[in-house]
Amino acid sequence: MEEKTKKNGGAVKWAFPVVILILVGVIAWLLLRPQEQPAGLTRAADAQLGQLEGKTEEQIVEELNRIVEEGMFNISINTQPEFPDGSSPGNLCIENSPANHYLMVVEITLNDTGEKVYTSGALEPNYHIQEAKLDRALAKGTYPATATFYAYTADTQELVGTAGAEMQLIIQN
């Protein structure tokens, strides 16, 4: 009888590590298996990861710079716009550069109160706003403010990033 117990104890001792190995294998297979592909497409069996062999370092850098540029955007605004009075248009000079790939919405907020005093509509690339009125009249003075540019994709109108510029609103009378 004693001999049978030793044999069964040995089987149990080996069963646990085998079960663990099987579980690890199943989990690894689930995580590393190829992802589902869109209907009708199959991956090229002979494709290799990376760029073509034989490219010069200059060509590789050029391609990487192009990818970076697609994700970046330029902002342009007059950082000291002047308004004849608090309810007249001033020279904001907001531009969405032709080089940008995104729609831009610009908000101007006063630094001391956080109050939003201007919001543009969406500007497509290569469009600008020369002059505009503030959304609320301000008394005579100079107001430190921040212009925040919100970049949105044109097709889905998804926010992809923001950038800001410090500025001073100058109300003359």
Q: Cβ contacts of residue 100 below 8 Å, gap of 6+? A: 73, 74, 125, 151
In whole angstroms, give the CA distance from residue 83 to residue 89: 6
pLDDT number for residue 38:
54
Reported as a single tens digit per residue, the pLDDT across 98-131 is 989 899 999 999 999 999 999 999 999 999 999 9
In whole angstroms, give the CA distance from residue 141 to residue 137: 12
Domain ranges of the chain: 1-33, 73-171
Q: Cβ contacts of residue 68 below 8 Å, gap of 6+? A: none
Instruction: Supply the CATH classification number for the domain 73-171.
Output: 2.60.40.2550
Q: Cβ contacts of residue 156 below 8 Å, gap of 6+? A: none
